[in-house]
Structures are given as structure tokens and as C-alpha cells.
Amino acid sequence: MRIAGFQKLTLLDFPGKVSCILFTQGCNFKCSYCQNSGLIGHENEELIDEEEIFSYLNKRKGVIDGVVISGGEPTVQADLTRFIRRVKDMGFLVKLDTNGSNPDILEELLNDNLLDYVAMDIKNPLPLYKEVCCISPKVDKLKRSIELLKNCSIDHEFRTTIIKNIHDIDKIFEICEYVDGNKMYLQNFEQSENVLGKNLESFSKEELLDIQKKMKGKYPNVKVRGI
């Protein structure tokens, strides 16, 4: 598997678990707000040998609980299932971060009990993905991934990075309708040198509090991170 980054310890990325996180190279989206824009293409040759990952895991049995597989987009990796199966065989939990564009892979992993937590990004109202991702993915595939998670038995979350000059309150409400009461997080956009969209704006703390207040009545399971 093409692994471009590896963080040996994180207490934030797998809720309630001590974990490590790896970042796969390559993504089928090109989101304007992406903090890992260097992982979008496939040209990075400075990859990490997966045996290095497994050697680390072998030494950390009983110390860390799980492995977070992020990206890029992990489901574009042809050998993702094989990799996860090996991690699971070592006794670790697995969390997958995904954009939901490959429901066949997601369904396979869920059916084979290879996932313990999934976080799926919902970028925008589905017909308007191009505003954020610079492409128009197949909406039916995104819908199917959402339904797979809504009906699965493992812990999961949906999340949206909200951007002031893209997401107004009507769009945020429309996004929340897709998850139908499931756990969802809104996270504020943060500008950095890695972000492709240099003119994107963050919401202020006061604006985030107002969004959270408006969510409470209809969508009590939608939370705004970072306030």
C-alpha cells in the first residue's frame, strides 16, 4: 500500500482510543480546503515501507489500541483490504477516514468485520460537490456510502469542514438532512500553506456558536468542533 505519512501516536483521531495514524498517497478528489494537498497526486516517491508500520505495531501491542487509516483517500488503494486484514490479525482496532466515493470497498470492509470506526466526510450538498472538490463525483455512490454507515452496527461519524464563503446555513442544514439524526460534526476551516484555496475564509467563534444554536432544535446530534 502507498503510505506517504505515519504519525506514531495520536489521542485525537480515534475517539476514546490511543492510536497511530497513517496517510495513504493519492486521492480521487481535489478539495480546495485540503490540509494534506501533497497527498492528492500519486507522484510522491518518498513512501514508507509498510513493513516499517507492522514492525512498529508489533512492538506496541498492549500500548496502542488502534490504527487510523487516512489520506489522501484510502479506498483508492488496491490492497487496502489486505493491509487492514493484517492489522486486524495483529489484534488492533481500525478506523477508516473516507470521502465515501467507493461504497463497494466500504461495504466489503464492513461485511468482513474489518472496521471498528468510520469517519466519512460530506463536503457539500451532494449536487454541489464541485464547489469544494473541483470535480463532480457520482452522487449515487456518495448516497450509498451514507446509507451503509447509517445502517451499520459499528461506531461512525459524518463530518463537514465548513467554509464561510462556501457554506451558508441553508447548505449546512441540507447536508445535515443526509445523515438523518446520526452523529455528525461540523469543523471550521483553517487556512494553511498546504491549502489549495488561498481565498477561503473561516467562521468566527461567534458565527460557529450561532450555527450550533440553530442546529440544536432539528439536529441535536450535530456538533460544532472547536468551540
For the cut 70, the answer to whether the pLDDT of residue 44 exceeds it is no
What's the pLDDT score for residue 43? 63
More confident residue, 97 or 216: 97
The per-residue pLDDT for range 8-26, each reduced to its tens digit, is: 999 999 999 999 999 999 9
CA atoms of 57 and 44, how far apart (whole Å): 24
What integer best gives the mean pLDDT of the chain? 93
Report the C-alpha gap between 38 and 211 in whole angstroms: 31
d(C-alpha 94, C-alpha 110), whole Å: 11
Burial of 128 from C-beta contacts in 10 A (0-12 / 13-18 / 19+): middle
Interval 103-131 mean pLDDT: 97
The domain spans of the chain are: 3-225
% pLDDT > 90, the chain: 82
Q: What is the pLDDT of residue 79?
A: 96
More confident: 194 or 77: 77
pLDDT for 45 beyond 90: no
The CA-atom distances, in angstroms, between 181 and each of 157, 185, 197, 227 are 11, 12, 31, 21
**pLDDT class for 42, splitting at 50, 70, 90?**
low
Give pLDDT, residue 151: 95
The predicted-structure confidence for 170-209, as pLDDT tens digits, reads as follows: 999 999 999 987 899 999 999 888 787 889 999 999 999 9
Task: Give every strand in the sheet of 3-10, ordered side by side.
Answer: 3-10, 19-24, 66-70, 93-98, 117-121, 155-162, 184-188, 222-225
Q: Indicate the CATH number for domain 3-225.
A: 3.20.20.70
Closest CA to 29 of 106, 131, 147, 160: 131
The neighbouring-strand residues paired with 3 are: 24, 48
Total-model pTM: 0.94
